[in-house]
Amino acid sequence: MIELPKERILLDRSFQNWEDALRKIGEWMVVKGNVTPDYIQSMIDRQKRMSVYIGNFVALPHAEGTDESVIEEGIFLIQVPDGINFGTKDEPKIATILFAAALKKEHQLSVLQELAFFCSDIDQVMALSDANTVEEIQMIFAQAHT
């Protein structure tokens, strides 16, 4: 089961583009003490190599091979009602829910798979997109079909 502490959930955010989103989310993760500042550029580089968009209006921003940049592992949820394009102008991939992951290499695959499985249920994703409170988000995860 996915558990997200309330201090790792941001609701009703907006960003100019995916790079702005990753920079601001990364800065938040640094302030929370989960990652070092170089993790931010690693997330941006990861998106440039291959989109972190996974479908169903969800993106999973994360860095690869940066264990030294992860101070404390954690998943962060950012709700973006207006969406962010993680694709191109010709092939948009709009995400309204972002799960930013700060994970050690040994845990990345299993946690990202669990999140991807959760997000394969469009009803669960829509519930996250429509939630108005952090408590609602936590309840959705508690009742999730995993």
**The pairing of beta strand 9-10 with beta strand 53-55:** unpaired
* Residue 84: half-sphere exposure toward Cβ, Cα within 13 Å: 26
Residue 107 a catalytic site member: no
Catalytic annotation, pick one of 39, 62, 70, 111: 62
3-state SS assignment for residue 93: coil
* CA pair distance 134, 79, nearest whole angstrom: 10
Ramachandran quadrant class, 60 (left: phi over 0; alpha: psi -120 to 50; beta: rest): beta
Catalytic positions, written as ranges? 62
